[in-house]
Amino acid sequence: MEHKTDSLTYAGAGVDIEAGNRAVGLMKQAVKSTFRPGVMADIGGFGGLFALDTAKYKEPVLVSGTDGVGTKLRVAQLTNVHNTIGIDAVAMCVNDILVQGAEPLFFLDYLAVGKLVPERVADIVSGVAEGCRQSGCALIGGETAEMPGFYAEEEYDIAGFAVGVVDRGRIIDGSKIAAGDLVIGLPSSGLHSNGYSLARKALLEVAGYQVDSFVPEFGHTVGEELITPTRIYVKSILPLLNKFDIKGLAHITGGGLTENIPRVLPEGVKVVLDRSKWTVPPVFKVIQGIGQVAEEEMLRTFNMGIGLVIIVHQEQAELILKELAESGERACLIGRVEQGENLVEYLGA
């Protein structure tokens, strides 16, 4: 059977090359604002080039990480706020490589969209650029894929890839952690980018809130609370690495304090946290109350107000707290390392 049709085009099939070119033009300034020494190529090439400063590192080891932002993307789409979700994409990657003691060097992003709207893409990438500026790394490449028929027109997904460097002799792997060491917690900005399936179910389904619903405990709308970007800890932590013997660092992501701290503990020790030492942000209490979520489930799903943990020798703890306070960081002593199984125990409430 003969089929007659008009001449097909890529644009007619749903992929607009011209819109892609315009999106690149709109994001160029934001991308260039992240460039740092070592960047060797402008935007638009087939690969991002970065020259490693081998004079700065005796035995450089590259540390890489990749992550996305999960179902927090749905909040960005519900609120129509797209210029912060890129901060989350960067944060999830650079915080992960930071805990090895690595300085983030460069970042690449992958953005898949149902329909390429240049202004929206530029908004998303502006958030990526802001995250890179906050962490001191360069945005040297990325990919924007228009995928009609796979994503709905308003949908998109974003993932990130970060590379950092650390001297071999300064890698932080937790092997030196011992009983008697102290645990310092750095506050989160809220949910960060974890537990959003549970958070959305409690707030938007069970409670019936809309993203524009004002919640007194939050002091703002549900949407504003849920879209708050993940904190980036690079500029708080890097200055400490040359001054103190940081034994362990843990980025508190999915799995909460319960699951993430043991990832850096050697055999034969546990961490005991005193929950009275830090304030749990209202969002966690509201979610727990609405969903009647068990305390153990909360602690192994959410960060509960602590986004990063530092484990140090007890003699250095006060000096580190003082240094962090002077830099504007609201850190606090939240626990200690004791002999025991590789786990986290909690005291207080």
Q: Does 110 share its domain with 242?
A: no
Q: Does 271 share its domain with 234?
A: yes
Instruction: Report CA 164 to chain centroid distance, whole Å.
Output: 15
* Domain end (from 138, 170, 202): 170
Q: Does 215 share its domain with 121?
A: no
Q: Does 161 share its domain with 186?
A: no
Q: Is the distance from CB of 331 to CB of 211 less than 8 angstroms?
A: no
pLDDT in the model for residue 344: 97
Domain that holds residue 124: 17-170
pLDDT in the model for residue 10: 67
**Residue 40 falls inside a structural domain:** yes
Q: Does 211 share its domain with 75?
A: no
**Residue 235 falls inside a structural domain:** yes
Q: Does 192 share its domain with 310?
A: yes
| Residue-wise burial string across 291-329, b where 16 or more C-beta atoms lie within 10 A, e elsewhere | bebeeeebbbbbbbbbbbbbbbbeebbeebbebbeeeeb
Q: Does 31 share its domain with 156?
A: yes
How far from 82 is each of 77, 162, 241, CA to CA, in Å? 7, 21, 34
Q: Which residues of the chain have pLDDT under 50?
A: none
Q: Does 116 share its domain with 233?
A: no
Q: Does 271 share its domain with 213?
A: yes
**Residue 324 falls inside a structural domain:** yes
Q: CB-side exposure of 181: number of CA atoms within 13 Å?
A: 25
**Residue 51 falls inside a structural domain:** yes
Q: Is the distance from CB of 97 to CB of 104 less than 8 angstroms?
A: yes
Q: Does 133 share its domain with 198?
A: no
pLDDT in the model for residue 73: 96
* Domain end (from 170, 195, 229): 170
pLDDT in the model for residue 221: 97
**Residue 5 falls inside a structural domain:** no
Q: Does 335 share its domain with 188?
A: yes
pLDDT in the model for residue 215: 97
Q: CB-side exposure of 291: number of CA atoms within 13 Å?
A: 20
Query: What CATH number is associated with residue 42?
Result: 3.30.1330.10
pLDDT in the model for residue 267: 96
Q: How many domains does the chain have?
A: 2
Q: Does 191 share its domain with 323?
A: yes
| Percent over 90 (pLDDT), the chain | 83
SS3 state at 288: helix
Tokens 């992960």 correspond to: 96
**Residue 175 falls inside a structural domain:** no
Q: Which of 225, 227, 211 has the alpha carbon at shortest distance from 286? A: 225
pLDDT in the model for residue 4: 61
Q: Is the distance from CB of 217 to CB of 338 less than 8 angstroms?
A: no
Amino acid at 346: Y
Query: What CATH number is associated with residue 234?
Result: 3.90.650.10
